[in-house]
């Protein structure tokens, strides 16, 4: 998408308003230590060797840890030392990074892309958690829940068998894949843009990356992670229509789990939202106040148009899918620092694995 076209959309103009309203925090700041530091390519290499970001490195004792009462973190103090304003209507042009502190630009990009990812919080609602590993292969747990009687709490008589939960490794490990996006632009295209405008572009990139990761989660929910753990499918009462009774049927299949999240295509979402049972004042009030969608069954709703438009995925997000990361989000810094910004790669190594197969299920309402 053309950047100017993005800014002209309602979505883009809303982000631009946020960027201009994102004014710098005020208060007394001691920049003495920040001014003594020389941030360069070597700083990134040092952070990389420790498995942390430049922002984290700057917060260590050897650099410029943030005092408890300081309104700016260590990276923001570096921006202040170099006269770079990234918030408010008077934000600096991107050109000021190149003139005053080109080594700060890659970290600025990384931080703003991460802010954009937080603008798509639905991903976190789908995950049990996220784990950082030191390999590009990961073997999930296999939790045997086939015989629920063995898990039931009951009195144990003398000599009786104690109920046990069998946990082993899955037969197949999963490959933690590399995902990347190439930001192709030029110094000429960026130099006169304000940092507020540039932030909008970076937020949009982060937002789209997070949306794509939701699609990866959906793939894992539906097809499994390669360990014969695809989600079970139940049929609606009648093919070709989705009713409230069908959602009740899906919900009822989850015991002992709780269907606390529903993921579906926009067409299915519109059908659910227009059900008579959904039209209660409290649901409408909550949506108008927070933007959160809840079904009458109490499950949060997540839109993902990668879901088939005749299927609804239900899950207990506490037990369904975990995220595995071998390389956190990173920005290629060499070319940016050298002011050769024709192409910058933003990448991450991430995969998703099933935790408990029975914690997710699919409702199919077009099965004839």
**Cα 198 from Cα 9, distance rounded (Å):** 16
> What's the whole-number average pLDDT of the chain?
87
User: In this structure, are residues 363 and 246 in contact, taking their beta carbons and an 8 Å threshold?
Assistant: yes
Least confidently predicted of 164-168, 269-273, 297-301, 331-335: 164-168
Examine residue 42 and state whether it is found in any structural domain, yes or no.
no
Residue 162 burial by Cβ neighbours in a 10 Å radius (0-12, 13-18, 19+): exposed
- 305 has a pLDDT exceeding 90: yes
Q: Which domain holds residue 273?
A: 115-146+169-368
What confidence category does residue 59 fall into, taking pLDDT thresholds of 50, 70 and 90? Answer: very high
**Cα 64 from Cα 32, distance rounded (Å):** 10
- 147 has a pLDDT exceeding 90: no
Examine residue 50 and state whether it is found in any structural domain, yes or no.
no
3-class secondary-structure state, position 347: strand
Domain count across the chain = 1
For the record, the structure tokens of 171 come out as: 């037969």
pLDDT of residue 89: 78
Q: Taking the alpha carbons of 290, 307, 201, 8 in that order, is the dihedral positive or negative?
A: negative
Instruction: Find, among 297, 225, 214, the residue nearest to 261 by Cα.
Output: 297
Examine residue 24 and state whether it is found in any structural domain, yes or no.
no
Examine residue 76 and state whether it is found in any structural domain, yes or no.
no
- 42 has a pLDDT exceeding 90: yes
Examine residue 49 and state whether it is found in any structural domain, yes or no.
no
What confidence category does residue 179 fall into, taking pLDDT thresholds of 50, 70 and 90? Answer: very high
Tell which phi-psi region holds residue 177, choosing left (phi > 0), alpha (psi between -120 and 50) or beta: beta
User: In this structure, are residues 360 and 316 in contact, taking their beta carbons and an 8 Å threshold?
Assistant: yes
Examine residue 231 and state whether it is found in any structural domain, yes or no.
yes
Q: CATH number for the domain including 119? A: 3.90.1690
pLDDT of residue 149: 59
pLDDT of residue 145: 75
- 132 has a pLDDT exceeding 90: yes
**Cα 289 from Cα 272, distance rounded (Å):** 20
pLDDT of residue 88: 77
Residue 12 burial by Cβ neighbours in a 10 Å radius (0-12, 13-18, 19+): buried
Paired residues of 345 in beta bridges = 182
pLDDT of residue 8: 65
Examine residue 77 and state whether it is found in any structural domain, yes or no.
no
What confidence category does residue 282 fall into, taking pLDDT thresholds of 50, 70 and 90? Answer: low
Tell me how far CA of residue 123 lies from CA of 7, 62, 234, in angstroms. 25, 35, 25
Examine residue 309 and state whether it is found in any structural domain, yes or no.
yes
């Amino acid at each position: 998408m053309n950047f100017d076209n993005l800014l002209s959309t309602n979505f883009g103009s809303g982000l631009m308003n946020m960027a201009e309203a994102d004014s710098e925090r005020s208060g007394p700041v001691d920049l003495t230590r920040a001014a003594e530091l020389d941030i360069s390519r070597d700083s990134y290499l040092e952070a990389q060797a420790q498995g942390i970001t430049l922002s984290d490195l700057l917060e260590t004792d050897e650099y410029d840890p943030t005092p408890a009462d300081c309104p700016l973190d260590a990276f923001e103090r570096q921006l202040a030392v170099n006269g770079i304003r990234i918030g408010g209507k008077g934000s600096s042009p991107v050109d000021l990074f190149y003139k005053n502190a080109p080594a700060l630009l890659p970290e600025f990009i990384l931080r703003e892309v991460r802010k954009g990812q937080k603008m798509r919080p639905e991903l976190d609602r789908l995950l049990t958690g996220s784990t950082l590993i030191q390999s590009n292969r990961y073997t999930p747990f296999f939790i045997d829940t086939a015989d629920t009687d063995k898990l039931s709490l009951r009195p144990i008589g003398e000599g009786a068998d104690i109920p046990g939960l069998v946990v082993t490794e899955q037969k197949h490990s999963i490959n933690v894949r590399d995902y990347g996006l190439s930001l192709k632009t030029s110094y000429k295209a960026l130099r006169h843009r304000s940092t507020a405008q540039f932030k909008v572009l970076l937020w949009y990139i982060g937002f789209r990356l997070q949306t794509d990761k939701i699609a990866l989660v959906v793939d894992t929910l539906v097809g499994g992670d390669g360990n014969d753990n695809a989600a079970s499918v139940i049929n609606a009462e009648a093919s070709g229509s989705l009713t409230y009774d069908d959602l009740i049927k899906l919900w009822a299949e989850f015991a002992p789990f709780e269907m606390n999240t529903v993921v579906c295509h926009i067409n299915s979402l519109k059908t659910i939202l227009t059900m008579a049972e959904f039209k209660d004042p409290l649901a409408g009030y909550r949506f108008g106040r927070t933007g959160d969608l809840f079904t009458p069954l109490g499950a949060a709703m997540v839109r993902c148009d990668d879901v088939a438009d005749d299927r609804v995925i239900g899950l207990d997000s506490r037990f369904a899918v975990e995220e595995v990361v071998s390389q956190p989000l990173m920005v290629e810094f060499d070319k940016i620092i050298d002011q050769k910004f024709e192409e910058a790669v933003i990448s991450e190594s991430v995969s998703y694995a099933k935790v408990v197969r029975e914690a997710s299920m699919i409702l199919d309402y077009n099965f004839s």
